[in-house]
Amino acid sequence: MLIVFFRSIVLYIIVLIVMRLMGKREIGQLQPFELAIAIMIADLAAVPMAETGIPISNGIIPILGLLVMHLIISFLNLKSMKIREILCGKPAILIYRGKIDEKVLKKERFTLNELQERLRSSNVVNLGDVEYAILETSGQVTVIQKPDKRTTTPKDFNIMPEYEGIPYDLVVDGKVMYNNLKIIGKDYNWLKKQVNKFNMEPEEALIVTFDGGNQIFCQKKAKLGN
């Protein structure tokens, strides 16, 4: 049992490293060749994990081989439009200028019910509100609503919002993020002064954030009972 335990840990670490090297796509955004590799890696790891009679290298070596294959395909995917179309396909327009394209639906084996479900997931409940619906190569559907149905933006009212910038975590669970302090051009003394306004020390904070509008959010850690 102990051997199986350690083999599982080793294979888990290998698979985790390989998946991290493959990139940060969400599962729903994987291209077909990426999904195929992910499934094969799972199968290759499962067999030597459970069968102690099979050398663990029989799982590790093929997994590393798939990683190399993935890196090669990804490189070719970036360099060649033709290869990209072969491996990933091309986006398909399901709704064009407000009209459902039945031929494309049949070609992509997409039912009307599936289309309506995808629209609802994009907060669109009425087919008549859609100008374009595009089936991406990842399988997700991008929805572009008709101009009079789109959510209004400040630009529609000739309003220029103030710049907000990216918020930085300055304290997380009582730990001071010195690198982030350096990025915003501040030091610990400045942080301490700001946090003291909330009647606490930086080390007592659950979270402290600072955004481009010079706004600080601060919350104190709760005192949990024994």
d(CA 146, CA 128): 9
Judge whether residue 27 has pLDDT over 60. no
User: Of 88, 80, 72, 84, whose CA–CA distance to 33 is shortest?
Assistant: 88
N- to C-terminal Cα separation, the chain: 36
Specify whether the backbone of 141 is left (phi greater than 0), alpha (psi in -120 to 50) or beta: beta
* CATH architecture assignment, domain 168-220: 2-Layer Sandwich (3.30)
Element holding 218 (H helix, E strand)? strand 216-220
The token pair at 6 is 């350690």
pLDDT at 22: 67
The token pair at 70 is 């993935």
d(CA 80, CA 59): 32
User: Of 4, 22, 2, 24, whose CA–CA distance to 12 is shortest?
Assistant: 4
- Residues whose CB is less than 8 angstroms from the CB of residue 203 and which lie 6 or more positions away in sequence, other chains included: 171, 174, 176
Judge whether residue 106 has pLDDT over 80. yes
- Residues whose CB is less than 8 angstroms from the CB of residue 202 and which lie 6 or more positions away in sequence, other chains included: 170, 171, 174, 176, 188, 191, 192, 195, 208
Do 168-220 and 92-149 have the same topology in CATH?
yes
User: Domain ranges in the chain?
Assistant: 2-86, 92-149, 168-220
Judge whether residue 86 has pLDDT over 90. no
- Tracing tokens 């090669």 back to the chain, one arrives at 72
pLDDT at 131: 93
Say if residues 14 and 63 touch (Cβ distance below 8 Å). Answer: yes
pTM for the model stands at: 0.60
Mean pLDDT value across residues 115-134: 90
**CATH, range 92-149:** 3.30.240.20
Helix extents (H) in 55-187: 57-79, 81-88, 102-107, 112-121, 178-183
150: DSSP letter: S
Total count of residues recorded for the chain: 226
d(CA 118, CA 109): 14
pLDDT at 112: 87
Please tell me which of 89-98, 143-152, 187-196 the model is most confident about, judged by mean pLDDT. 187-196
- Tracing tokens 């024994």 back to the chain, one arrives at 226
pLDDT at 28: 55
| Identity of residue 151 | T
What Rg, from alpha-carbon coordinates, does the chain have? Answer: 26
